A and B are shown apart, each in its own frame.
Chain A
Amino acid sequence: MLEVNNLTKKFEKFTLENISFKLEPGYIMGFIGPNGAGKTTTIKLIMNLLKKDSGEIKVFGMDHVKDEKEIKKRIGFVYEEAYYYETLTLKQMKDIIAPFYREWDDKQFKKYIVDFGLDMDTRIKKLSKGMKTKFSLALALSHKADLIIMDEPTSGLDPVFRREILDILYNIIQDEKRSILFSTHITTDLEKIADYITFINKGKIVFSKSIDEVFDSYKVVKGGKDVLDWKIRKEFIGLRITNVGFEGLTEDSEKLKRILGDQIIIERPSLEDIMFYTIRG
Chain B
Amino acid sequence: MKIIISNFSNDPIYEQISSQIKGMIIKGELGEGELLPSIRGLAKDLQVSVITTKRAYEELEKEGFIETVQGKGSFVAMQNKELMKERKLKIIEDKLAEIVDESRLLGLTYREVEKILKILFEEG
A residues neighboring B (CB under 8 Å): 26-28, 166, 170-171, 173-174, 176, 191-196, 210-212, 215-216, 266-268
Contact = CB atoms under 8 A, between A and B. Distances in A.
Interface of B is mostly: helix
Nearest to B48: A192
- Ranked nearest first, the 6 interchain pairs of A and B with the lowest CB-CB distance are A170-B44, A195-B49, A192-B47, A211-B49, A195-B51, A210-B51
B40 A212 contact: no
B57 interface: no
B14 interface: yes
Contact of B41 (A174, A191, A192, A268): A174
Interface of B: 7, 9-10, 12, 14, 40-41, 43-44, 47-52, 55
Contact of B10 (A192, A211, A268): A268
Nearest to A27: B50
B45 to A, nearest CB: 9
A171 B44 contact: yes
A191 B40 CA distance: 16
Contacts of B12: 212, 215-216, 268
A211 to B, nearest CB: 5
Nearest to A170: B44
Nearest to A266: B10
A124 B10 CA distance: 47
A128 B44 CA distance: 29
Contacts of B51: 27, 195-196, 210-212
A194 B44 contact: no
Given A173-B40, A212-B12, A267-B10, A26 B48 contact: no
B61 to A, nearest CB: 16
Contacts of A28: 49
B7 to A, nearest CB: 8
15 contacts: A27-B50, A27-B51, A166-B47, A171-B44, A174-B41, A191-B7, A193-B49, A194-B49, A211-B49, A211-B52, A212-B51, A215-B12, A266-B10, A267-B10, A268-B9
Q: Which of B10, B44, B49, B55 has its CB near the most chain A CB atoms (within 10 A)? A: B49
A149 B43 CA distance: 21
A210 B54 CA distance: 12
Contacts of A176: 40
B4 to A, nearest CB: 15
A195 B47 CA distance: 11
Nearest to A194: B49
Contacts of B40: 173-174, 176
Contacts of B10: 266-268
B53 to A, nearest CB: 10
B59 to A, nearest CB: 11
Contacts of B47: 166, 170, 192-193
Nearest to A211: B49
A267 B10 CA distance: 6
Given A173-B40, A211-B51, A267-B10, 4 more contacts: A170-B44, A173-B50, A176-B40, A192-B47
A194 B43 CA distance: 11
Contact of A195 (B7, B14, B50): B50
A195 B49 CA distance: 5
B14 A212 contact: yes
